[in-house]
Amino acid sequence: MKRLIVFLDSESAKARALRRLLARREWRVDIEILPMQGRTVRMCYPELGHVSEDADIVSLSDTGLVEEGRAAWRTVIWAFKGGVPWSDFLGRIGADEAFDELVNDLLSGRLDINEEPRAALARADFTPRAMAVGA
């Protein structure tokens, strides 16, 4: 993968945080953030035809892979330089609430994406309400 298009609600806090990160961080691939609203998106990107209308995030790679929800967030985190361990770690999070909390903390900078996940969580004293992590 060399390019990733991320579709988000353009007014959401996550979209604003992701835009700030685009300006400050190095990425493994080129990333473009586009608004998810409207039929125009689906007309311009027919690959999104099967995506749920309620999806909060959708990613489309230059390889044609379309992901939504948690899978799309994992791909976005993977796209950060240093994000692979976090993407793998997020794949083992069972509870949606804990997953969302981790993504928000990574986007806000509360957790450092360049730090190993368990070390970063220990340093930040991160104790989400429903941390169900596999070994």
CATH classification of the domain holding 35: 3.40.30
Is 6 exposed, middle or buried, given 0-12, 13-18 or 19+ CB atoms closer than 10 A? buried
Q: Which domain holds residue 76?
A: 3-123
pLDDT recorded at residue 94: 84
pLDDT, one tens digit per residue, over 42-51 is 788 888 888 8
* Within-domain flag for 128: no
At position 129, the amino acid (one-letter code) is R
Task: Report how far apart, in Å, the C-alpha atoms of 43 and of each of 40, 67, 131, 132 are.
Answer: 5, 18, 39, 39
* Within-domain flag for 133: no
* Within-domain flag for 129: no
Domain count, the chain: 1
Q: pLDDT below 50 — which residues of the chain?
A: 130, 132-135
Tokens of 55: 């999806």
* Within-domain flag for 59: yes
pLDDT recorded at residue 127: 66
Give the global pTM. Answer: 0.85
| Contact between 93 and 126 (Cβ < 8 Å) | no
pLDDT recorded at residue 128: 60
* Within-domain flag for 69: yes
pLDDT recorded at residue 132: 45
